[in-house]
């Protein structure tokens, strides 16, 4: 059974891997023996986190601004120059924006859509040669898209572009799963609920206890909760799972 869930020796790229959910996933992969690249916009932070994670395995920083297609191309070029094959791509980098409906700016819409949806499509497309190289019928290559419970229901906060982008990502996950299944590339999505992260910091500070009372498990997500699902979706245990969207939210999605 340990071999069934092993990702040791695999190569992974985690975007937005220097903080929040991306960091939880990256740490889990490093400690599980995967050669893990992390990408984030701030080079100094990316390098610092990679150095810290390397104490438990292999973690390599590849700073890139994925909000632009130039940044996507840069990251593709960097990973392609280092790795002919990529077993795991975790599309986690994302942004949020909140504003009242009447005041919601175009810049807030475009920033979120570009990073949360557009860049994921083009990064996945452009890394297909490396994913196909790693893929086998017995153990497919993996694309894991990090969506959100806010893409499953109407959130109470006025984060219009965020919830729309995550709902779009959920559907894109299914579309890509069907298209890439013959290439032995599994595409699955994770819809996290509340986890401690920089994006959630202010929300948890102001509404943390109130949120806990609305979560059936009565707690916020912990690091092992996210590492566990990410390792499952990257391991041979999920070889026959593609096109799935898995809520990791303490049961919130059962209340929708």
Task: Dump pLDDT digits (tens) for 56-69.
Answer: 999 999 999 999 99
* Cβ neighbours of 87 (radius 10 Å): 24
Q: What is the pLDDT of residue 74?
A: 97
162 in catalytic set: yes
Catalytic residue among 29, 37, 160, 162: 162
- Amino acid 199: pLDDT: 66
Q: How far is CA 245 from the centre of its chain?
A: 12
Q: What is the pLDDT of residue 192?
A: 96
Q: Across the chain, what does the average pLDDT equal?
A: 95
The whole model's pTM is what?
0.95
The pLDDT of residue 202:
78
Residue with tokens 């069907």: 178
pLDDT of residue 135: 98
CATH superfamily of 11-255: NAD(P)-binding Rossmann-like Domain (3.40.50.720)
Q: Which of 108-112, 164-168, 199-203, 221-225 has the lowest mean pLDDT?
A: 199-203
Cα–Cα dist 168/178, whole Å:
16
CB-count exposure of residue 250 (10 Å: 0-12, 13-18, 19+): buried
What are 239-256's pLDDT values in tens digits?
A: 999 999 999 999 999 987
Contacts of 104 by beta carbon, 8 Å cutoff, 6+ apart: 97, 158, 160, 161
The tens digit of pLDDT for each residue in 25-73 reads 999 999 999 999 999 999 999 999 999 999 999 999 999 999 999 999 9
pLDDT at residue number 209: 87
Q: Is it the case that residue 197 has pLDDT exceeding 90?
A: no
Question: What pLDDT shows up at residue 200?
Answer: 74
The residues spanned by each domain of the chain are 11-255
- How much is the average pLDDT of 185-197? 93
CB 166 within 8 A of CB 148: yes
In whole angstroms, what is the distance from residue 144 CA to residue 180 CA? 13
């Amino acid at each position: 059974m340990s071999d069934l869930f092993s990702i040791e020796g695999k190569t992974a790229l985690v975007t937005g891997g220097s903080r929040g959910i991306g960091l939880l996933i990256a740490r889990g992969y490093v400690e599980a023996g995967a050669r893990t690249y992390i990408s984030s916009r701030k080079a100094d932070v990316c390098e610092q986190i990679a150095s810290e994670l390397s104490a438990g395995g292999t973690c390599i920083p590849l700073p890139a601004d994925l909000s632009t297609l130039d940044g996507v191309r840069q990251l593709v070029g960097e990973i392609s120059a280092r790795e002919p094959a990529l077993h795991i791509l975790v599309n986690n980098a994302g942004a949020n924006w909140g504003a009242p409906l009447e005041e919601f700016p175009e810049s807030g819409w475009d920033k979120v859509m570009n990073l949360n949806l557009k860049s994921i499509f083009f990064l996945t497309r452009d890394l297909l040669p490396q994913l196909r190289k790693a893929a086998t019928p017995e153990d497919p290559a993996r694309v894991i898209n990090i969506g959100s419970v806010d893409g499953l229901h109407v959130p109470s906060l006025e984060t219009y572009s965020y919830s729309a982008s995550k709902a779009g990502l959920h559907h894109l996950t299914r579309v890509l799963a069907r298209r890439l299944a013959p290439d032995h590339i599994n595409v699955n999505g994770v819809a996290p609920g509340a986890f401690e992260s920089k994006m959630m910091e202010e929300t948890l500070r102001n509404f943390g206890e109130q949120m806990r009372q609305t979560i059936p498990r009565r707690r916020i997500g912990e690091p092992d909760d996210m590492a566990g699902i990410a390792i499952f979706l990257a391991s041979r245990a999920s070889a026959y799972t593609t096109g799935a969207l898995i809520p990791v939210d303490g049961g919130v999605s059962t209340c929708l």
